[in-house]
Amino acid sequence: MSLRARMLTLGLRLFTKPRLAKMTDPAELRAAMERFTRIALRPAPGSVAMPLDLAGRPALSIRAGSPREGLAVVHFHGGVFLAGSPQTHLPMLSRLAKLAGVTVIAPSYSLAPEHPFPAALRDAQAIWDALISQGYRPENLVLSGDSAGAALAFALLAKLCARGTPPAGAFAFSPWFDLTGASPSVRDNAAADPMLAGHRLPDAAQFYLQGHPADDPEASPIFADFPGCPPVLLQTSETEILTDDALRMEEKLRQAGTEVLLQLWPGVPHAWQMMDGLIPESREALRDTARFVTRVLTVPPQRSDGS
């Protein structure tokens, strides 16, 4: 782990983790995420973010240089279903757009607790369908998300696989795939995680679920099926409380015959990919992701008839 990453994780452990552990007001979390992005992060040089309306939801179309036309990554932001926006994730996604040479589409979605489950997933479905109606082809899109956004992305992925119209690939950063909190790392990494407090996960889940069963596959895609799933990239930290969510999904998909690349990064904090410009591990992870995106958008999709 780099010196800058060590310094960052120390700061997170001393200041951010105790504060997050005590937060009870979603508005406070929203403001904190927006403030951190504004103060600490910058979009990639030469990138442009254009506002979009997708199924009535604000979104950003993020480009850098001359992206390949008709190809895009559709990324659902994290924020425990309570916070985050296309703007909080613009620095990370603009860097990915630059590295991968494709447009990155960053939608907003309805946030809890004002809009509990399944509002966010319904938004995600409508946003995807709107992109298809605008002329995008599923095989020219990559579906992705970080943290809670990964739960949305993979719940949507399960639906697209069941329809027989999967994207070219999917990836997840520090995914929260199991809202029941059953992954052993929630307990085992409680002390090691420099940012997230495992004992607050049930509270965060209930802000979103509001009594709905946490093992519903549409809420926790670890319980979903992914027939005909395209290639998947999973990146997680070895020391975060959600490590096993990624490990369990990797095992589940691999047993079903899906091509899965799992990357375990030592010591870095949850969703470290967002910290582009602060720690070198972020840029390295985004470069790996860009290579994955380039590969799955270059290889012709396999069709069920073998042609």
Place of tokens 């946490």: 214
Place of tokens 């800058």: 4
What are the respective helix, strand and coil percentages of the chain, to the nearest 5? 45, 15, 40
Six-digit token pair at 158? 């399960």
Six-digit token pair at 50? 């254009």
Annotated active-site residue in 47, 85, 147, 183: 147
Q: Report whether 239 contacts 192 (CB < 8 A).
A: yes
Q: Report whether 285 contacts 263 (CB < 8 A).
A: yes
Is 147 a known active-site residue? yes
Q: What are phi and psi of 170, to 5 degrees?
A: -150, 150
Q: What are phi and psi of 72, to 5 degrees?
A: -160, 155
DSSP letter string, 43-82: PPTTEEEEEEEETTEEEEEEEESSPPTT-EEEEE--STTT
DSSP letter string, 140-174: GEEEEEETHHHHHHHHHHHHHHHHT---SEEEEES
Please identify every residue annotated as catalytic: 147
